[in-house]
């Protein structure tokens, strides 16, 4: 299912520019950053797993981006994310309900 992205994120998706999308997750506004995270999930960007884990586990980003990162990690399906996400779910009850449901 195609997501409605901003023009800049859509251009990066069309180019397959994972590095550009990863930059948007850190330097865009929270809506743009969350859209870039969703795009990384759509592309199944394995090279973004480390960044997405950092965003999900440390919470050093907007809650909207953290929840998107958790969902993206589930969609990418890299098993490296299972242990840290499980621990995150056990320790924090403030994770968005949709995100916590996805990693259970």
The string of pLDDT tens digits covering residues 23-69 is 999 887 899 999 999 999 999 999 999 999 999 998 788 888 998 99
Distance CA 95, CA 93 (A): 6
* pLDDT tops 50 at residue 1: no
Please tell me the predicted confidence (pLDDT) of residue 94. 66
Q: Which residue has the higher pLDDT, 6 or 102?
A: 6
| Residues near 36 by beta carbon (within 8 Å), at least 6 away in sequence | 9, 12, 21, 22, 24, 25, 28
Q: Which residue has the higher pLDDT, 3 or 67?
A: 67
* pLDDT tops 60 at residue 97: no
Distance CA 56, CA 71 (A): 9
- Per DSSP, 43 falls in state T
Distance CA 57, CA 43 (A): 21
């Amino acid at each position: 299912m195609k997501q409605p992205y901003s023009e800049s994120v859509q251009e990066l998706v069309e180019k397959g520019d994972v590095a550009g999308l990863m930059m948007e997750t850190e330097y865009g506004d929270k809506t743009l950053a969350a859209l870039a995270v969703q795009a990384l999930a759509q592309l199944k960007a394995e090279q973004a797993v480390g960044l997405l884990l950092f965003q999900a586990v440390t919470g050093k980003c907007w809650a909207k981006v953290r929840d998107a990162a958790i969902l993206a990690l589930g969609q990418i399906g890299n098993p490296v994310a299972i242990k840290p996400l499980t621990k995150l779910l056990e320790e924090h009850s403030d994770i968005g309900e949709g995100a916590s449901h996805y990693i259970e």
